[in-house]
Amino acid sequence: MKTFTIGISGVTNGGKTTLAKNLQKHLPNCSVISQDDFFKPQSEIETDKNGFLQYDVLEALNMEKMMSAISCWMENPRHSVVSTDWGNAEETPILIIEGFLLFNYKPLATVWNRSYFLTIPYEECKRRRSTRVYNPPDPPGYFDGHVWPMYLKHRREMEENVTWEIVYLDGTKSEEDLFSQVYEDIIQELAKQKCLQVTA
């Protein structure tokens, strides 16, 4: 079965989850997998020399388990545990994968039909982060000492190694504007895919 897989990645508090949920509401036969659901238990998270828990690294995530969930969906989208209600059976099954470290993980490189990366400036990111409740809570200095440096490091590595097109999104735009931009882009890509299937 032909499927369509979308990656939504980017900076912490950039609007990834909100965008994914908004798209799921409006796209037919659409499922969402969130990378945040695959964090390892706190007891397995490494600590750096400053005493900060290293949550913003791939090693903090059970990526094998996440890949297994993605593979299960790909094999049978209709019966996957992450599937949404099915509408028109003729519509292409869509999977949205959202998370902060998607495009740095090589085993995922071949799955994307469309990739989006949300960015927001440092000050706005810090402000948004301060309004969120985390468990465990961010200790003093965690954003500047770990979160932002890790974001910059991983973004640099991503841009050096990625071999496919990534669409950058301005996370300071309104939810509605971001949704409209991405929704229209996805609809265009799905239409192209259908044309290719017809002519194949």
Tokens of 125: 């990111």
E-assigned strand segments in the chain:
4-10, 30-34, 94-98, 114-119, 167-170
For 194, other C-beta atoms within 10 Å of its C-beta total: 13
Closest C-alpha among 1, 7, 15 to residue 132: 15
Active site residues: 36
On the CB side of 48, CA atoms within 13 Å amount to 15
